[in-house]
Amino acid sequence: MNLTTHVSGYPRIGEDRELKKALEAFWRGQHGAAELDRVATELRHRHWQEQAELDFVAVNDFSLYDSMLDLACVLGVVPERFGPSGVPLTLERYFRMARGRSRVGGAPDVPALEMTKWFDTNYHYLVPELEKDTEFQRGWDKPIRETREAIAAGFRAKPVMVGPLTFLALSKRRDGGDPLEALGRLLPVYRELLRDLRRAGAEWVEVSEPILAERQDGVLLGALKTCWSEALTDGPKILLAVPFGGLGPARSILATSAVDGVHVDVTRAGAEVDALRKEWPRHKVLSLGVIDGRQIWRADLDALRNRVAGFRDRGNHLWIGSSCSLLHVPHSVDREKTLDPELRSWMAFAREKVAEIGAVAAAERPVDACTAAAEAARRRRQHAGVEDSGLRTELANLSAESFSRSEPVERRRALQSEALGLPLFPTTTIGSFPQTDDIRTLRSRYRRGLFGDAAYEAGLDVATAEAIRIQEDLGLDVLVHGEFERTDMVEFFGELLEGMVVTAQGWVQSYGSRCVKPPVIWGDIFRSQAMTVDRLRRAQAKTSKPLKGMLTGPVTILQWSFVRDDLSRSQVALQLAWAIRAEVVDLERAGLKIIQVDEPGLREGLPLAPKERRAYLDGAVRAFRLATSGVAGTTQIHTHMCYAEFEDVAAEIAALDADVITLEAARSGSSGWGGLVEAGLGSAVGPGVWDIHSPRVPSVEEMAEALRQGLKVLPAERLWVNPDCGLKTRGWEETRAALAHLVEAAERVAAEV
């Protein structure tokens, strides 16, 4: 018999990013709620239709902004600043919670909910806010309505819901207390919701608890028991899903609980799958998430069919699905009209993954699908560029010196001080300058072939010359070229490096209406040509001040790409590092004295499972050091990091052995990086003194004060003055104003020491 099939969620942005466009037009006031609703409804129906070959379609995975926000609204968790409780939710209010305002134009009138990364994905969710005594109540009826909608349209609906533990554990109590304390008050409301889903016609509900992939402490496991100790009378059947990790000790708790089935992330739970085969109660459903929802490679259907063969005796209690929601992969490979057809034939996006699930679950081996998959895999293995044995040997034989600068950091500081002659508290920026409409038009016209390389380079040079003039006028000490040629810091290198490719339509939702298009690493990586050298040499020639060459680091390129599945990530990182190293060395040769290798993705790559963290961090440090240690002691290596608390990786950041590290610190104050120094950091530090995430221009005194805070942690000779992050999303007006203040703040504090 065919096994039961389903997915844990489907991309919702639309194959042409229809939802993005409809949201942004709504925010701009170009159309009203009715039009937004029309687009949303159409997308839901189209996406159900695309899952129609499965036994269930996922419902309630759709969202106008984010599913955690939706659940907060469903459970009546709307902080007071967004309006009185008890009144029905309006779109106005919903978007205020997400964005601090409902329309563009009006300034944010209230601070939005905080936003942060969803486990180890690049998706961001909104953090619900709880009070010590928050009362939950049924609010928005979205899950019920969408369930009815799917059923009315003739689909077998399986609503998916974020589970009570994940919802609470990821919420924030404003008084700092443990949000899980609210479980006793939440559960009755959650159960009522489940019952209503049953009444609306849902036989099964998938309750997703990814928090179990990350936390398996006694408190959480105790709470898990509490949730599912008794059966739900008149409720739907519960499929408890744990994406992104294994079940661990939750396995035995769930086996004896009232849940009717578990859905396991086979791509992450690997070793556990055998134990499940033996131990998981046969009267409960076991759902195997064998199709990887986190990568884009076509599955080896025969291997997966073999993998599930040993479970088939469970009959209709065996289900087949995706490892997690398909939200994290692009929509359909069909849209890739310009991608090399050979590479395209190795890939499967959401639509193709639906078909793969069907092929794994089919009773009879689907000969055509299996043969085509095997054939693609064979061609992939043999494709030129997938394995470059020369490169592999070279990397396998690297000496210890390749990972280490030739002088220790203090010695380098002395050498660089002499070579660069910078003042106390040198001022600089993080790399990008405002990407105006002119710049975007220039790039897009070039891409469309409207003019050639020379004209494009000339256009970029004009922008850089202007940026340099502004930086000189402001009195900044270390200048940048502005990164005008880059739409995105990873995509830019993805287009130039061999072994990587950029898709045309491979968009993945990052948050709200924002999407990213991760490049694909498919082969061994090497640099066939210098990527930034000419442009940066020309930029340096325009000024007598030092110009900082900008590169993206190996770990960040890895982190923000879809990575090949036939080579370890640490090996891929080394290949990237080797290519970046060549560029670093060439930049030095071209006369640049300062080179920045950005690693904003380093901290966020930290694996969820604690036992995997050591290996990741060691690999990350090795990659960065390989990329940056090919230069002389007189050349100053900068790195930049943001989006994260750094405390728990302080020793590793110290081990990067950069000369200068600029950090996002404006929001967390000096406390966020004090731990780095305690962990033995030898680098100079530029704690961001301007939070560039808002158009607000901080006063001179505010920035001076941030710098004085820095002086409590580090001596003056080791402090730099800079914004928090790149300025590409800012306008020129606030950029000039804030940088003028920044330079003045540095002078003010310099006069005090």
Residues serving a catalytic function are 693
- Give the three-class secondary structure for 8: coil
CB 619, min distance to ligand GLN, A: 21
Judged by beta carbon distances under 5 to 8 A according to partner kind, the member of ligand GLN, Zn ion, none in contact with residue 569 is none
C-beta of 707: minimal distance to ligand GLN in Å?
21
Which residue, among 519, 521, 514, has the nearest Cα to 504 in the 3D structure? 519
- Looking at 3-11, 235-243, 540-548, 724-732, which segment touches ligand GLN (CB under 6 A)? 724-732
The minimum distance between CB 737 and ligand GLN, in angstroms, equals 19
Q: Which of 525, 642, 663, 749 binds ligand GLN (CB under 6 A)?
A: 642
The β-bridge relationship of strands 508-511 and 514-516 is antiparallel
Quick check: 127 and 166 in contact, CB under 8 A? Answer: no
Contact pattern from residue 549 through residue 578 relative to ligand GLN, giving x for each residue in contact according to CB under 6 A and a dash for the rest = -x----------------------------
State the binding partner of 598 from Zn ion, ligand GLN, none, CB within 5 to 8 A by kind: ligand GLN
Nearer to Zn ion, 226 or 668 (CB): 668
User: Which residues, 702 to 741, sit near Zn ion by CB under 5 A?
Assistant: 725
Minimum CB–partner distance for residue 600 and ligand GLN (Å): 4
The span from the CA of 683 to the CA of 720, in Å, is 11
Nearer to ligand GLN, 198 or 728 (CB): 728
Shortest CB 576 distance to Zn ion, Å: 19
Q: Is 483 annotated as a binding residue?
A: yes
Pick between residue 506 and residue 553 the one whose CB is nearest to Zn ion: 553
Rounded least distance, CB 692 to Zn ion, Å: 8
Residue identified by tokens 């710049």 is 439
Q: Which of 12, 148, 527, 728 binds ligand GLN (CB under 6 A)?
A: 728
Distance between first and last Cα of the chain = 79
C-beta neighbour count of 451 within 10 angstroms = 13
Closest to ligand GLN by CB, 292 vs 724, is: 724
Instruction: Single out the residue of 649, 666, 654 nearest to residue 725, CA to CA.
Output: 666
431 in a known ligand binding site? yes
- Buried b / exposed e over 710-727, threshold 16 CB at 10 Å, is bbebbeeebbbbbbbbbb
CB of 590 to Zn ion, least distance (A): 25
Q: Please pick, from the candidates 412, 535, 640, 730, the single residue that binds ligand GLN as defined by CB under 6 A.
A: 640
Q: What φ, ψ does residue 614 adopt, rounded to 5°?
A: -55, -50
Minimum Å distance from CB 432 to ligand GLN?
3
Q: Site map for ligand GLN, 581-600, x if CB under 6 A?
A: -----------------x-x
Tokens of 655: 């081990």
Report the residue number, 481 or 741, with the smaller CB distance to ligand GLN: 481
Pick 550 or 666: Cβ nearer ligand GLN: 550
262 near 282, Cβ under 8 Å? no
3-state secondary structure 519-562: CEEEEEEECCCCCCHHHHHHHHHCCCCCEEEEEECHHHHHHCCE
Q: Kindly state the number of chain residues that form the binding site for ligand GLN, as judged by CB under 6 A.
A: 13
721 residue type, one letter: V
Q: Residue 246: CB partners within 8 Å, gap ≥ 6?
A: 213, 264, 265, 268, 269, 270, 271, 272, 609
Q: Which part of the chain contacts ligand GLN (CB under 6 A), choosing from 22-30, 56-64, 424-432, 514-522?
A: 424-432
Q: Which of 130, 489, 547, 558 is the binder for ligand GLN (CB under 6 A)?
A: 489
Task: Give the shortest CB-642-to-Zn ion separation in angstroms.
Answer: 3
Of all residues in this chain, which one has the CB nearest to ligand GLN in the complex? 726
CA–CA dist 751, 753 (Å, integer): 6
Please report how close the Cβ of residue 636 comes to Zn ion at its closest, in angstroms.
Answer: 19
CA 168 to each of CA 129, 173, 190: distance values in angstroms, whole numbers, following the listed order: 10, 9, 12
Site for ligand GLN contains 150 (CB under 6 A): no
**Looking only at residues 513 through 552 of this chain, which bind ligand GLN when binding is defined by CB under 6 A?**
550
Is 86 annotated to bind a ligand? Reply is no
Does the footprint of ligand GLN cover residue 432 (CB under 6 A)?
yes
The answer to whether the annotation marks 272 as part of a ligand binding site is no
61 vs 691, which CB is nearer to ligand GLN? 691
728 binds, among Zn ion, ligand GLN, none (CB under 5 to 8 A by kind): ligand GLN
DSSP element (H, E) containing 161: strand 157-162
Nearer to ligand GLN, 322 or 556 (CB): 556
Among 128, 210, 330, 431, binds ligand GLN (CB under 6 A): 431
Interface segment toward ligand GLN; rule CB under 6 A; list 193-201, 497-505, 540-548, 720-728: 720-728
The three-state secondary structure class of 166 is helix
Which H or E element spans position 319? strand 318-322
Q: Is 642 in the site for Zn ion (CB under 5 A)?
A: yes
CB pairs under 8 A, 24+ apart, for 231-236?
A: 231/258, 232/191, 232/194, 232/195, 232/258, 234/195, 234/198, 234/199, 235/191, 235/194, 235/195, 235/198, 236/194, 236/195, 236/197, 236/198, 236/202, 236/203, 236/204, 236/205
Could you give the C-alpha distances from 212 to 49, 279, 722, in angstroms and in order? 32, 19, 39
Residue 726 interacts with ligand GLN (CB under 6 A): yes or no:
yes
Pairing of strands 157-162, 57-59: parallel
Could you say which of 430, 490, 536, 602 contacts ligand GLN (CB under 6 A)? 430
CA 269 to chain centre: 21
- Cα separation, 159 vs 200, whole angstroms: 11
Own/partner pairs, 448-451, CB within 8 angstroms, 24+ separation: none
| Least distance to ligand GLN, CB of residue 753, Å | 28
Question: Can residue 661 be called a binding residue for Zn ion (CB under 5 A)?
Answer: no
Which residues within the stretch 571-600 sit at the binding site for Zn ion (CB under 5 A)? 600
Q: Which amino acid is at 299?
A: A
Give residue 201's identity as a one-letter amino acid code: G
642 marked among binding-site residues = yes
> Which among Zn ion, ligand GLN, none contacts residue 593 (Cβ within 5 to 8 A by kind)?
none
- Whose Cβ is closer to Zn ion: residue 641's or residue 749's? 641
Residue-by-residue DSSP string for 229-262: SSPPTT--EEEEEETTS--TTHHHHHHTSS-SEE
| Partner whose footprint covers residue 66, from Zn ion, ligand GLN, none (CB < 5 to 8 Å by kind) | none
The answer to whether the annotation marks 725 as part of a ligand binding site is yes
Please say whether the beta carbons of 608 and 581 come within 8 A. Answer: no
Secondary structure (H, E, C), 449-488: CCCCHHHHHHHHHHHHHHHHHHHHHHCCCCECCECCCCCC
Which of ligand GLN, Zn ion, none sits in contact with 202, Cβ below 5 to 8 A by type? none
For residue 243, give every residue at least 6 positions away whose Cβ sits within 8 Å of its Cβ, in sequence order, or none.
8, 208, 210, 213, 263, 265, 268, 289, 293, 323, 324, 325
Nearest to 118 by CA among 411, 509, 494: 509
Separation between Cα atoms, residue 123 and residue 24, nearest integer Å:
19
17 annotated as a binding-site residue: yes
9 is in the binding site of which of ligand GLN, Zn ion, none (Cβ under 5 to 8 A by kind)? none
Chain residues in the site for ligand GLN (CB under 6 A): 430-432, 483, 489, 550, 598, 600, 640, 642, 725-726, 728
The annotation places the binding site for Zn(2+) at 640, 642, 664, 725
Chain residues in the site for Zn ion (CB under 5 A): 600, 642, 725
The annotation places the binding site for L-methionine at 430-432, 483, 598
The annotation places the binding site for 5-methyltetrahydropteroyltri-L-glutamate at 17-20, 117, 122, 514-515, 560, 604
The annotation places the binding site at 17-20, 117, 122, 430-432, 483, 514-515, 560, 598, 604, 640, 642, 664, 725
